Amino acid sequence: MSGCRFCGKPLQHTFVDLGMSPLCESYLRADQLNQMEAFFPLWVFVCEGCFLVQLQEYVSPKEIFTEYAYFSSYSDSWLKHARDYTDKVTSRFGLNQNSHVVEIASNDGYLLQYFVEKSIPCLGVEPAANVAAVAAKKGIPTVVKFFGVATARELAAQGRQADLLLGNNVLAHVPDINDFVGGLKVLLKPSGVITMEFPHLARLMEGNQFDTIYHEHFSYLSLIATEKIFAAHGLILFDVEELASHGGSLRIYAKQAENNAMPISPRVAELRQRETAAGFTRLDHYFTFAKQVEETKRALLDFLIDAKRAGKSIAGYGAPGKGNTLLNYCGIRTDFLDYTVDRNSYKHGRFTPGTRIPIHPPERINQTRPDYVLILPWNLKKEITKQMAHIGEWGGKFVVPIPKVEVIDP
């Protein structure tokens, strides 16, 4: 067993153990159904030294991220989030044609496209070649690389240091968090600003959001742990926002420790104080989570078993990575869900990893008219219940599994 990925102390306290699961983005083709699948532990620890909640590196990122099925542009609400962010930071930090914006894990260019629209020079860094190719087609310069100190030094040597260095849902996804944050320090101009978004551990615990735990998601971050990690690399958090995205995220703003020009917002101390009061500096607080998770599983299975006993049909909506943690941990297969649907055509004709539920285009729901539609990407439930409101025509209802099992009339 290895030590804490930040401070190196031995990991000996379980946060939650979700059993064995396959990689959540490894959707199966029909010709793979007769083969076995690799399952890895989803066993999450909390470090007694720095309180970083973490999965060990059971699988190397090279296996996970070199061909990645997730295309950010498929969600309307995520695109709006990206556009709003772009407008906000452009005006707050006075970005213009002389600035340089770098996004780490830039995916298909879903966000940088809005900087391109404003004629602000930008660069994407993205390890998945198939996803980066989509960005390049849209005219967004993208280098295909994993980010860390080595990549940062290469880019800095080419004069590509950043005025704005951003990453959404990447900080939590890097196994070597010290190499990653060390790289941020190198690539940031002396006067530059870093923004990073990641799911907030406090929201994850409050909402029983255990389905946001998967092998690609190595760290589960509080503000307190994040501040320690950034400080160890000469970076200071000067602002923080709490966002609704991904079940509740933090957007942190960081600067070089040497940069005194930027004032520190009172929001940082206020959130640090709230986390301390809630128990994030005490181990016993972390131990409450596993019990909530087990109860969520029992409640969802109770609902599904009752529905099937009453002769109802159930389909899924969405085949997101988080859905696969939920399905595998709860043991939900085609005995409960006839199929699921997704807007991402990459997934059509494929099967969910581990549970092997077929994935169809959304139109399938209109053809089979299920009694219940289980929404797997519950963070998008507003958007989905609106898009799919027509299931009410045949008396269909939505089921949201998390934070608690809830049946919604269209």
**What is the binding site for Zn ion (CB under 5 A)?**
4, 6-7, 47, 49-50, 52
How many other CB atoms are there within 10 angstroms of residue 59's CB atom?
A: 17
Smallest gap from residue 8 Cβ to Zn ion (A): 7
> What string of DSSP letters covers 361-376?
-TTHHHHH--SEEEES
Instruction: Please list, in sequence order, all residues whose beta carbon lies within 8 angstroms of the beta carbon of residue 239, skipping any fewer than 6 positions away.
Output: 252, 253, 264, 265, 267, 268
Beta bridge partner(s), residue 124: 103, 142
Which of residues 7 and 232 has its CB atom nearest to Zn ion in the complex? Answer: 7
Strand-pair category, 249-256 with 359-360 = unpaired
Smallest gap from residue 6 Cβ to Zn ion (A): 5
Smallest gap from residue 48 Cβ to Zn ion (A): 8
Which of residues 6 and 336 has its CB atom nearest to Zn ion in the complex? Answer: 6
Which tokens go with 44? 């999450």
Query: How far, in Å, CA of 48 to CA of 52, rounded?
Result: 8
Which of residues 50 and 388 has its CB atom nearest to Zn ion in the complex? Answer: 50
Which of residues 161 and 219 has its CB atom nearest to Zn ion in the complex? Answer: 219
Beta bridge partner(s), residue 125: 104, 143
* Residue 201 amino acid letter: L
Smallest gap from residue 222 Cβ to Zn ion (A): 12
| Cα angle, residue 399 at apex, residues 394 and 404 outer, rounded to 5° | 160
Smallest gap from residue 50 Cβ to Zn ion (A): 3
Which of residues 6 and 68 has its CB atom nearest to Zn ion in the complex? Answer: 6
Which tokens go with 184? 């941020």
Smallest gap from residue 40 Cβ to Zn ion (A): 22
**Measuring CA to CA, which residue among 173, 262, 174 is closest to residue 212?**
173
Smallest gap from residue 42 Cβ to Zn ion (A): 20
Which of residues 259 and 281 has its CB atom nearest to Zn ion in the complex? Answer: 281
Query: How far, in Å, CA of 351 to CA of 105, rounded?
Result: 26
Would you tell me the crossing angle of helices 266-278 and 223-232 to the nearest 10 degrees?
120
Which of residues 12 and 334 has its CB atom nearest to Zn ion in the complex? Answer: 12
Which of residues 56 and 379 has its CB atom nearest to Zn ion in the complex? Answer: 56
Which of residues 6 and 93 has its CB atom nearest to Zn ion in the complex? Answer: 6
Smallest gap from residue 46 Cβ to Zn ion (A): 9
Radius of gyration of the chain, Cα coordinates, nearest whole angstrom = 21
Instruction: Please list, in sequence order, all residues whose beta carbon lies within 8 angstroms of the beta carbon of residue 234, skipping any fewer than 6 positions away.
Output: 185, 256, 257, 258
Cβ distance 173 to 213 under 8 Å? no
Cβ distance 194 to 171 under 8 Å? no
Smallest gap from residue 198 Cβ to Zn ion (A): 17
